Amino acid sequence: MTEGIGARVLRKEDKRFITGKGKYTDDIKMENQAYAAFVRSPHAHAKVTGINADAAKAMPGVEAVLTGPELVADEIGNIICGWAVSSKDGSPMNMGAWSALATDTVRYVGDAVAVVIADSIAEAEAAAEAVEVSYEELPVVVGSVKALADGAPQIHENAPNNMIFDWEIGEEAATDAALAGAAHVTKLDIVNNRLSPNAMEPRAAIATYDEAEEHYTLYTTSQNPHVARLVLSAFYNVAPENKLRVIAPDVGGGFGSKIYIYPEEIVCLWASMKTNRSVKWTSTRAEAFLTDAHGRDHVTTATMGFDAGGKIVGLKVDTKANLGAYMSLFSSATPTYLYATLLSGQYNIENVYCNVKAVYTNTVPVDAYRGAGRPEASYVMERLMETAAREMGMSPADLRLKNFITEFPHQTPVIMAYDSGDFAANQKQAMEAADYAGFEARREEAAKRGKLRGIGFSNYIEACGIAPSAAVGSLGAGVGLWESAEVRVNAVGTIEILTGSHSHGQGHETTFAQVVADRFDLPLDGISVVHGDTDKVQMGMGTYGSRSGAVGMSAIVKALDKVEAKVKKLAAHTLEASEDDIVIEGGAVKVAGTDKQMLWHEVGLAAYLAHNLPEGMEPGLKEGAFYDPTNFTFPAGCYICEVEVDPDTGTTEIVQFVASDDFGTIVNPMIVEGQVHGGIGQGIGQALLEGVVYDDAGQLLSGSYMDYTMPRASDLPSFSVHHQSTVCPGNPMGMKGCGEAGAIGSPPAVINAITDAIGNNDLSMPATPSKVWAAIQAANAATAAE
C-alpha cells in the first residue's frame, strides 16, 4: 500500500488546476444570461431618502433595476446570525435588521442599495452609476471602543450603545481574588488587527430560475452548499429546499469568508425569478475588499497572575469585538465560544475569566477567518507568557514547561475538555530544530552586522470540529455540526465517495480517496470524490474550522465500516467460508490461509447482479453514514520564530521559522505540510503586513493591493515543519485537524521575536517597518532617560 494513509501522494485535483481546466463559478455560462451590478453606498452611515432609477432603466441593455422595498414586498427575509449568544444578564443578543438590499438606512461603505440587471457587465455597471440615490448622512463610528462610548452614533435601534451582547465565561470573583494574591502580575493591552480574507477567487454567483418547475439553481463560491441551501430556504424565503439546488463547483480559497450567505447571492436568486433570466455576479477585487466579511478586530486587556515559583494562578481578559455593521452568519460564536474557551492555552490554570462585548460599527461585517477566535486567543496567551517570562527573568521555555497540562483528559475552567497532547514534546522538538541553544551566539554575530536578532515562542492550542451537535446546540448554535458521507462501490469495483465536506484548496479529492484506498487496499485511480452539489450529495455541513478530517473523514470511515461488513458477508457466502476468515488485500477479497478469493470488482458485480446473495441481503453496494463527534479535537504545537531587525529602517526579516505540530493521525504529510506553510504564511501576513484601515468617516483606506499588503514569497522564509503527534481518542482515525493551526500559532511567535530583538514589548500588529522603527526609538528614549 503506497497510496494509503500516511503516503505523500500527489494531489489528484492538481492536473485540472495547474492546466487551467478548473471550473469555477465565473466559468459557467448560461443561455439568456444577464449580469448584476450593485449600487453601493458611498457613505458609512446614512438614511436613504430616495432612489430614482428612471434614467438607469432607460439605458441600453438594462433588464431591471431592483431595490430593497421590492425585495421586502416579495417577502425575502433578513440576513441572520445563526448562533444565539446571550449577555451575562441572560438577555438575548441584539441582532439588527439586515436586508439584502437596504430599505431605509445604509450602515457601511459598500452596503448594497439597489441592483441593476443588464445584458452585459459594462451595461450593468454604467446603469448602476446612473441610479440616483439620495442620502441624508448620519454620524459615523468605526472602532469598537468608540462605538461603546456614551454619545456614540447609534447604528441599530435595538442595540443601545451599539452593544450586541455583553457575554462572560468563567468565575470573575475567584479570578480577581487569585490575581490579587499573585506574586507577579503581567498586564497587556492587545489589539488583534482586522484582516481582509483575500481568497484568490473572488465571490461569485449565477442563479437560474426555471419558471415551469418553479425551481432555482444557484452556482456559487461556497464552503458549504447545503448550509447555503438551508439558510436561503428556511430564513431568506427564496424557495423551499426541494425547489433549490446549490452547487459550489471548484472554489478558489475561502478561509471562512465563503461560509456565509451574502446579499449578492440572495439577490441573484431573487432577480433570476424577477427577470426570468440567469443572473450572474462576480465580485471585483475592489468589491471583495469592501464586502467580504473581515476577520479578527479585537481590542483586549489581559492580566495574568503568577505565584512566586512562576505557576499561573489566574487570567482575566476583557475583549471588545468589532462585528461591523451587521451580524454575519457565525459572527457571534467567533469572539465567544471559539475564542474565550481557548483561554486556558496549554496551561494548568485554575481561574480564568473573560468578558466579551460585541459591538456594532460602521464597517463591513466581521466573521470567522482562518482560525476564527483561536488566533485571537493564542495571541493573548502567548504574548502574556513571553512577556511574563521576560518580566520575571525566566526562560520562556521553562515558564511554559512549569505550567503545561500533562494529564489527559483535562477539564479547563472555560468549557473545553482537552483529550490528548504532549506539549513538552512539541516544545522540545521545536527547540532542537531551531537550535535554541545556539541562539545567543547567533544574536552576537548579528549584532556585529548591525542587526537586532530576536527569538520568540508560541505554544498554541486550538479546537477543531466544533462538536458534538448537542453541545453546540446548548451553546446557541442554530445548526448541528456533524458530517455525512456515502460510499458507492460500483458494479465494476470503482468507488465514489459522496461527502458533505467541501474542498476549496484542501485536497479532499486526494486525501479522502487515500482513506478508502487504505481500507480496501485499492489503487487511488479507481476512487473519486463527489462534493459540492446539493442534488448529488445527501446532506452536509461543509468545510471550515479544520473539520473535514476529524469530522468529514470520520463519516467516511463509518460508511466504510458498513461497506466492509457487507463485502465480507457477501464474499463469505460466495466463497463458502466464515466471515471472520475473510480478508481484503491486494485488490481481492480472500479467505485467509487458502487460495480462495474474489477479485474486488467481482464482489461489486456480485452485489449488483444479485444472482446469489446471502439470505436477506439487499442488492447493491452503497452505504451512508452520519458522524457526530463526541468532542472537539485539540491540535496543538510549539512554533519558534527568529528574526533580524534592521534598526535603521525597522525592517524585519524572518530568518528562521520552526513548527512542531500535533495533528494526531496524518493522512497525507505533503498536504498537511502545505496547509502548515499556508497557515504560517497567513499568520506572518497578519503579524507583519496585513491590516484593514478605515478612516474616521468609515472610508476604507486599505481598499486595494496598493495599500493592503499581502505576504509575498520574498517576505517568508523556508519553513522548518515537524510533527510530534498524539492520537486523538475521540474519532476513529485519531485525527485532530491541520487547516488553521499555522495561522493560529504563528502571529505571537513573530511578535515575541521582534519584541525580543528590539527590547520593547509595546508593539502592535501588523509590525510594519514604520511601527518597529517607532518602537525602537521609544525603547532608545526610555533607555536614555534611565
Partner 1 sequence: MFDTTYHRAASVADAAETAAKADDAAYLSGGQTLLPTMKQRLASPSDLVDLSQIAEMQGISVAGDTVTIGAGTPHADVAGSTDVQNAIPALAALAGNIGDPAVRARGTLGGSIANNDPAADYPAACLGLNATIVTNTRELAAADFFEGLFETALEEGEIVTAVRFPVPSRAAYAKFPNPASRYAMAGVMVAQTGDGVRVAVTGAGNDGVFRHEAMEAALGTNWSADALADVSTDADDMLSDMHGSAEYRAHLVGVMAKRAVESA
Least distance from partner 1 to the Cβ atom of residue 126, Å: 7
Q: Give the strand order in the sheet containing 46-52.
A: 105-106, 46-52, 132-137
Chain residues binding partner 1 by CB under 8 A are 122, 125-126, 129, 286, 648-650, 689, 693, 701-702, 705-710, 768-770, 773-774
- Residue 220 phi, psi dihedral angles, 5° rounding: -155, 160
Cα 675 to Cα 672: distance, rounded to the nearest angstrom: 5
Please tell me whether residue 422 adopts helix, strand or coil conformation: coil
- Residue 737 phi, psi dihedral angles, 5° rounding: 110, 140
Least distance from partner 1 to the Cβ atom of residue 770, Å: 4
Q: Which is nearer to partner 1, 182 or 772 (CB)?
A: 772
Q: Which is nearer to partner 1, 444 or 696 (CB)?
A: 696
- Residue 630 phi, psi dihedral angles, 5° rounding: -95, -15
Closest CA to 487 of 342, 626, 305, 624: 624
Q: Which is nearer to partner 1, 467 or 692 (CB)?
A: 692
Q: Which is nearer to partner 1, 166 or 644 (CB)?
A: 644
Least distance from partner 1 to the Cβ atom of residue 53, Å: 19
Least distance from partner 1 to the Cβ atom of residue 711, Å: 10
First to last CA, the chain: 67
Q: Which is nearer to partner 1, 649 or 783 (CB)?
A: 649
Distance of CA 367 to the CA centre of its chain: 9
Q: Which is nearer to partner 1, 364 or 498 (CB)?
A: 364
Distances (CA, A) of 333 to 368, 383, 743: 9, 23, 18
Cell of 784: 536614555
Least distance from partner 1 to the Cβ atom of residue 134, Å: 21
Q: Which is nearer to partner 1, 231 or 700 (CB)?
A: 700
Least distance from partner 1 to the Cβ atom of residue 781, Å: 13
Cα 153 to Cα 231: distance, rounded to the nearest angstrom: 31
Least distance from partner 1 to the Cβ atom of residue 649, Å: 6
Q: Which is nearer to partner 1, 197 or 650 (CB)?
A: 650
Q: Which is nearer to partner 1, 433 or 774 (CB)?
A: 774
Q: Where are the alpha helices (H) located in 685-740, listed in sequence order?
A: none
Q: Are 188 and 302 in contact, with CB atoms under 8 Å apart?
A: yes
Q: Which is nearer to partner 1, 375 or 766 (CB)?
A: 766
Q: Which is nearer to partner 1, 108 or 708 (CB)?
A: 708
Cα 306 to Cα 181: distance, rounded to the nearest angstrom: 9
Using alpha carbons only, what angle is made at residue 638 by residues 636 and 643, rounded to the nearest 5 degrees? 145
Least distance from partner 1 to the Cβ atom of residue 630, Å: 45
Q: Are 570 and 617 in contact, with CB atoms under 8 Å apart?
A: yes
Q: Residue type for 436, please?
A: Y
Cα 388 to Cα 185: distance, rounded to the nearest angstrom: 8
Please tell me whether residue 717 adopts helix, strand or coil conformation: coil
Q: Which is nearer to partner 1, 423 or 708 (CB)?
A: 708
Least distance from partner 1 to the Cβ atom of residue 265, Å: 24
Using alpha carbons only, what angle is made at residue 672 by residues 669 and 673, rounded to the nearest 5 degrees? 85
Cα 496 to Cα 206: distance, rounded to the nearest angstrom: 27
Cα 264 to Cα 281: distance, rounded to the nearest angstrom: 8
Least distance from partner 1 to the Cβ atom of residue 704, Å: 9
Q: Are 679 and 741 in contact, with CB atoms under 8 Å apart?
A: yes
Least distance from partner 1 to the Cβ atom of residue 286, Å: 7
Least distance from partner 1 to the Cβ atom of residue 257, Å: 20
Least distance from partner 1 to the Cβ atom of residue 379, Å: 21
Least distance from partner 1 to the Cβ atom of residue 707, Å: 5
Cell of 435: 537550535
Q: Which is nearer to partner 1, 326 or 773 (CB)?
A: 773
In the chain, helix, strand, coil percent, each to 5? 30, 25, 45
Least distance from partner 1 to the Cβ atom of residue 259, Å: 27
Least distance from partner 1 to the Cβ atom of residue 129, Å: 7
Distances (CA, A) of 61 to 114, 122, 145, 752: 17, 9, 47, 57
Closest CA to 589 of 611, 566, 609: 566
Give the β-pairing of 33-40 and 105-106. unpaired
What one-character-per-residue DSSP string does 273-340 give? HHHTSEEEEE--HHHHHHHSPBB--EEEEEEEEE-TTS-EEEEEEEEEEE--SS--TTTTTTTTTTTG
Give the β-pairing of 132-137 and 46-52. antiparallel
Q: Which is nearer to partner 1, 307 or 707 (CB)?
A: 707
Cα 673 to Cα 114: distance, rounded to the nearest angstrom: 45
Least distance from partner 1 to the Cβ atom of residue 651, Å: 8
Using alpha carbons only, what angle is made at residue 149 by residues 146 and 151, rounded to the nearest 5 degrees? 110
Q: Which is nearer to partner 1, 121 or 425 (CB)?
A: 121
- CB contact set of 505 (below 8 Å; sequence gap of 6+): 251, 252, 253, 254
The single residue listed with the C-alpha cell 500535533 is 662
**How many helices and strands (H and E) does the chain possess?**
20, 28
Q: Which is nearer to partner 1, 759 or 769 (CB)?
A: 769
Q: Are 586 and 548 in contact, with CB atoms under 8 Å apart?
A: no
Q: Which is nearer to partner 1, 121 or 177 (CB)?
A: 121
